């Protein structure tokens, strides 16, 4: 009986402590699942234009206590296509990226926060054989350093719209626009 009461006491004390931290604006961990569109870099020799494709991303962030910064990890998968000048068919270009991300949050209204940040990590480029003929596409099928400046807007502490530009070698740079839902985090 004493063990059960002491466990109950510590559980209630921990819940009260978490609630007090929440009210004080303490940092919290949150996750985000996002979907959107990816737009490839089209002005390469040998390619006429690029078509948008799907983008999926998951992100886990830590919101710092009493500071407008957050930091986390983002995993993103993108697929866009380009049309070679010599063909009517499009070539697909899948890219997967894992990045450490950070951002500065600027509240502009009660339920709206703007944010700007950067991601740094690696991108796995899994292009097609046709891509190897394009200029600056020497890294087909390999993992390369990537950076992603990004901006966005968060509404009601849940809905996030992010615009990010993934910078890798010239042949695989792309812009992604995602809409995500944050789970957990600060209120």
pLDDT tens-place values along the chain, 187 residues long: 445 544 545 554 454 444 444 444 445 899 999 999 998 776 667 776 677 899 999 999 999 988 899 999 999 999 888 777 777 777 778 889 999 999 999 999 989 999 999 999 999 877 654 444 544 444 456 788 999 999 999 999 899 999 999 998 777 788 999 999 999 876 5
Lookup: tokens for 38: 């990816």
Closest CA to 47 of 174, 135, 142: 135
Lookup: tokens for 159: 């809905």
Q: Are 113 and 121 in contact (CB under 8 A)?
A: no
Q: Are 113 and 156 in contact (CB under 8 A)?
A: no
Q: What is the pTM of this model?
A: 0.75
Distances in whole angstroms, Cα of residue 1 to Cα of each of 4, 8, 10, 36, 76: 5, 11, 14, 54, 50
Element (DSSP H or E) covering residue 7:
helix 2-23
Lookup: tokens for 177: 């626009």
Give CA–CA dist 30/22, Å, rounded. 13
Give CA–CA dist 146/138, Å, rounded. 15
Q: How many residues does the chain have?
A: 187
Give CA–CA dist 103/63, Å, rounded. 10
Give CA–CA dist 187/159, Å, rounded. 13
Q: Are 29 and 60 in contact (CB under 8 A)?
A: yes
Q: Are 158 and 181 in contact (CB under 8 A)?
A: yes
> Around Cβ 181, how many Cβ atoms within 10 Å?
12
- pLDDT at position 117: 97
- pLDDT at position 17: 45
């Amino acid at each position: 009986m004493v063990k059960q009461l002491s466990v109950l006491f510590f559980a209630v004390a921990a819940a009260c402590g978490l609630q007090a931290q929440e009210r004080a604006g303490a940092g919290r961990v949150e996750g985000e699942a996002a979907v959107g569109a990816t737009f490839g870099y089209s002005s390469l020799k040998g390619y006429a234009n690029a078509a948008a494709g799907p983008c999926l991303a998951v992100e886990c962030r830590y919101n710092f206590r009493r500071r407008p910064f957050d930091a986390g990890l983002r995993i993103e998968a993108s697929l866009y296509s380009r049309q070679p000048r010599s063909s009517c068919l499009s070539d697909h270009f899948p890219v997967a990226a894992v990045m450490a991300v950070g951002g500065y949050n600027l509240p502009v209204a009660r339920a709206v926060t703007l944010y700007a940040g950067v991601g740094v990590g690696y991108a796995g480029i899994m292009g097609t054989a046709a891509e190897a003929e394009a200029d600056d596409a020497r890294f087909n099928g390999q993992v390369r350093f990537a950076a992603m400046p990004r901006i966005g807007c968060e509404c009601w502490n849940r809905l996030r719209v992010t615009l990010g530009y993934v910078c890798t070698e010239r042949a695989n740079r792309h812009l992604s626009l995602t809409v995500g839902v944050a789970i957990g985090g600060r209120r």
